[in-house]
Amino acid sequence: MNDLSIRASVGFEPAKEVFAGQHLIDGAWADSASGATFERVSPSHGVVVSRCAEGSAAEANAAIAAARTAFDSGVWSRISGKERAAVLLKVADLIEANVERITLQEVLESGKPIAQARGEVSGAADHWRYAASLARGVHGDSHDTLGADMVAMVLKQPIGVVSIITPWNFPFWILSQKLPYALAAGCTCVVKPSEMTPASTVMLGELLIEAGLPAGVCNIVLGYGDPVGSVMSTHKDVDMVSFTGSTRVGKLISKVAAETLKKVALELGGKNAQVIFPDADLDEAADAVVFGTYFNVGQCCNGSSRIIVHKDIAEDFVARVVALSRDVRFGDPMDEATQVGAIVTAAHNAQIHKHVQAAQAAGAKLALGGGPLVVDGLSDQFYQPTVLIDVSADMGAAQDEIFGPVLSVMTFDSLEEAVALANGTDYGLSAGVWSSNMHICLEFSRRAEAGTVWTNTWMDGYPEVTFGGAKQSGQGREIGRYGFEEFFEVKSVVMRVGEKSRARWVTKET
């Protein structure tokens, strides 16, 4: 693979930078009662980069109790939207003032390239600003047509205590797709970041305090899914779980949360397809496919891990994708020019390779890559840009979320076939279509079983535009007005007014 654009280590010494993280419970930083800690080893540099308190059920229970008390006290849930917005806007400013500090730790823990991590952290501030704008526009309904002596209103009230559980692939961004919206609604929260990327959540906790968020409104518990996430998904004082992660854990949470009938919002995995018609701008489409395949080291829920290309252009299009893939800069995440960094764990790197080998055993062929990538001076957690061709719909490479820099190529003859192939998985997160014919784009968009469809572009997102998954990619929506609405309970208030007496139910027989 020495014709690839590989960037070796830039000589960074991360061992000096070990981050120490504590829980944030009721406004105070705390270690675990047991004294237990866990460490994160940098995927790219192979050294310990953070050491954090490892939560148990005791810390999870304490955090939930703090969130419950804060919610019931009204210190946040009953103040005005204007006051809540003021705090959220301060958080946005503080995020921007701390971008570099947060970015560095995110790179070290996740293995993603520094330029992408910086974009993720600085871009997240916009979610806080947009959520602040929503905080002031909450309103329900009124009913003035029920008769002269009746009036009713439908109030929107914060749902209560929300457990927020996040994954490792976009730790700061995904938290910012949830927390500001929950806070804008007036909810109180308990947050658990992934055990692989705890630091940026802790740093955000510091900023929340600095911005003046009252104690107990946002609590953070560090540690593993079991026990911390389990307690957060089952505790009777939690009203809602907002989860982003794998479909496997999402299903588990849905099951255990049912015991107390708490609301569950799930953002899960994807096997997203881009469909390319012959009349598309093929250079643009190829670049977007390469971006969709390798962005965030291919570990992206919205990764376009499948393409479905018209047979007439398949050979030419794959050649363009392979040529562009060779120019993508793989290497040290600390290098500003790197575009693809390290895989999150050695076990996951091995899993990616297993998927690729299984695809080959099932009849797929390699047009590029197909094995681990050696980057001088860094860990063995890198994988080559990989393009699999001759993939058929029944193969794992067409069905499973591989979550690495691996593209599966399928072909089609007709729009019908393209729609069937795109919809032919259990997932339904996103899809894309490339054509200069808007009728084709619209027809595909209307028939794609996906929460988001991009036409002649890929992975553009805005706080205003809601996001979420169909089928086994999730339930509920995040960001935008629809995402904001998830954090409310609706209450009907029916009032008798005026002097007229209510018709009596008990009447005396005469």
Q: List interacting residues with ligand NAD (CB under 6 A).
A: 165-170, 174, 192, 194-195, 224-226, 229-230, 233, 244-246, 249, 252-253, 267-270, 301, 401, 403, 429, 469, 474
Residues in the chain: 510
Least distance CB 154 / ligand NAD (angstroms): 30
Phi, psi of 427 (to 5 degrees): -85, 165
77 vs 472 by CB, closer to ligand NAD: 472
The 3-state DSSP class for residue 446 equals: helix
Q: CB 179 → ligand NAD: shortest distance, Å?
A: 14
- Return the half-sphere exposure (C-beta side, CA atoms, 13 A cut-off) of residue 61: 4
Please say which residue, 325 or 472, places its beta carbon nearer to ligand NAD: 472
Nearer to ligand NAD, 77 or 244 (CB): 244
Considering the complex, state which of residue 333 and residue 474 has its C-beta at the smaller distance from ligand NAD: 474
Catalytic residue among 120, 267, 478, 486: 267
Q: Is the dihedral of CA 400, 225, 125, 99 positive or negative?
A: negative
Instruction: Enumerate the β-bridge partners of residue 388.
Output: 366, 408
How far apart, in whole angstroms, are the C-alpha atoms of residue 400 and residue 123?
30
- Our CB check for ligand NAD shows the closer of 14 and 451 to be 451
Q: CB of 266 within 8 A of CB of 243?
A: yes
Does 189 participate in catalysis according to the annotation? no
The dihedrals phi and psi of 191, each to the nearest 5 degrees, come to -115, 135
**DSSP codes, 292-330:** HHHGGGG--TT---EEEEEGGGHHHHHHHHHHHHHHSEE
Q: Which two tokens stand for residue 341?
A: 């960094």
One-letter amino acid identity for 11? Answer: G
Closer CB to ligand NAD, residue 160 or residue 469? 469
Q: Please, what is the angle between helix 171-185 and helix 99-110, to 10°?
A: 130
Planar angle of CA 470, 482, 238, nearest 5 degrees = 85
Phi, psi of 258 (to 5 degrees): -65, -25
CA pair distance 243, 34, nearest whole angstrom? 27
Work out how close the CB of 192 gets to ligand NAD at its nearest, in angstroms, rounded to a whole number.
6
Residue 288 three-state SS: helix
Would you say 168 and 348 are in contact if contact means Cβ atoms under 8 Å apart?
Answer: no
Choice among 300, 301, 478, 486 that is catalytic: 301
The answer to whether residues 137 and 485 touch, using CB atoms and an 8 Å cutoff, is no
CB of 199 to ligand NAD, least distance (A): 14
CB of 286 to ligand NAD, least distance (A): 24
Provide, rounded to whole angstroms, the least separation between the CB of residue 466 and ligand NAD: 12
Quote the CA–CA distance of 342 and 350 in Å, as a whole number.
13
Q: For this structure, is 301 an active site residue?
A: yes
Q: Which helix (H) or strand (E) holds 353?
A: helix 346-361
Output the smallest distance, CB 473 to ligand NAD, in A: 6
Smallest gap from Cβ 200 to ligand NAD, in A, equals: 13
The per-residue b/e assignment along 267-300, b for 16 or more CB within 10 angstroms, e otherwise, is bbbbbbbbbbbbebebeebbebbbbbbbbbbbbb
Q: Of the two residues 39 and 312, which places its CB atom closer to ligand NAD in the complex?
A: 39
Residues annotated as catalytic are 267, 301
